[in-house]
Amino acid sequence: MGASRFAGRFLIPGGVWLLLFFAVPLGIVLAISFGTTDDLGGAIYGWYPSNYSRVFDPVFLPVLARSVGYALATVALCLLIGYPVAYYIARFGGRRKHALIALVIVPSFVNYLVRTYAWVAILSDEGLANGIPHDVGLSDGGIRFLNTPWAVIGGLVYGYVAFMVLPVYGALDRMDPALIEAGKDLYGSRWQTFRHVMWPTTFQGVLAGCVLVFLPAVGDFVSAQLLGGPDTFMVGNLIQQQFFGAENWPFGAALTTVMMLFLMVWMVFYLRSAAKAAREGAAAAV
């Protein structure tokens, strides 16, 4: 009766908008990435794939590697911190579960810049991180926290840990507590139960959390900029620099494309894993 056709018309406004303002720009990025700059610094189209080989230049390679490294460290820390917290809320939260989870999200409502800047204030030479140990007598002040890799990673962890807690909590909450009891009976030790029962069951949630943390962390430049220094430059800072300083837009576009492709690979891998898990879950239920 034309229900499908009727509905199809509704796809047009949103769909056209997304095509124009999302898909096309990505195409432009790709196109510009093969271009070059003219004498005045403006971007012109052309065929200069050297932009891409420049991305992997020894000058820039450490920046790329560092971004991936920091992001991986962030994921690992988020997991180590987030999993136990999610476990606690899921298993022992009781009626306050929802409130506890909401509390995890609330800090995200403070602007990312302001939150990061708060850490700057705390970790700076005049901040609390120096002040309290000094007052207590543990140090004589002057501990340098800022401008170190750990400050940047710490900032990233702080920014994205909620994205790990939520999916892991979701998976743990949905898990049947009887499974843990069964595991306890079967395996005896806590570690074994975790390894053979909890981890496999919550794996999809963990995977989702890792992806949700990894993807934004790689491209982040705020933490590196505010909490770090020239030694902690990440690819996000590099890209930002191309557009607001070095004025080499084609190279910036090439960097962006490389980063985008790199992340797409992990995204596809994750989607496949999730689809496979969903299929197996449905098959097992049958």
Rounded distance, CA 123 to CA 245, Å? 28
Which of 68, 79, 267, 274 lies at the binding interface for other proteins (CB under 8 A)? 267
Helix (H) or strand (E) holding 251: helix 249-285
Binders of other proteins in range 115-134 (CB under 8 A): 115, 117-122, 124, 126-128, 131
* Of residues 124 and 201, the one with the C-beta less far from other proteins: 124
* Of residues 12 and 136, the one with the C-beta less far from other proteins: 12
Q: Is 246 in the site for other proteins (CB under 8 A)?
A: no
Crossing angle of the two packed helices 249-285 and 24-33, in degrees rounded to 10: 130
Binders of other proteins in range 41-80 (CB under 8 A): none
**Residue 121, C-beta contacts closer than 8 angstroms, at least 6 positions apart:** 127, 128
Binding mask 200-229 for other proteins (x = CB under 8 A): ---------------xx-xxxxx---x---
Note the residue count of the chain. 286
Rounded distance, CA 49 to CA 51, Å? 5
Two structure tokens written together for 207: 């995977």
**Which stretch in 49-57, 143-151, 233-241, 278-286 sits in contact with other proteins by CB under 8 A?**
233-241
Q: Is 254 in the site for other proteins (CB under 8 A)?
A: no
What 3-state class would DSSP assign to 37? strand
**Which stretch in 54-62, 91-99, 137-145, 273-281 sits in contact with other proteins by CB under 8 A?**
91-99
Q: Is 251 in the site for other proteins (CB under 8 A)?
A: no
Binders of other proteins in range 5-44 (CB under 8 A): 6-15, 17-19, 21-26, 28-29, 32
Concatenate the DSSP letters of all residues of 106-166 into one string.
GGGGS-HHHHHHHHHHHHSTTSHHHHHHHHHTS--S----TTSHHHHHHHHHHHHHHHHHH
**Which stretch in 48-56, 92-100, 136-144, 274-282 sits in contact with other proteins by CB under 8 A?**
92-100
Contact status, residue 64 vs residue 72, Cβ threshold 8 Å: no
Binders of other proteins in range 169-188 (CB under 8 A): 170, 177, 180-181, 184
What is the smallest separation between the CB atom of 135 and other proteins, expressed in angstroms?
11
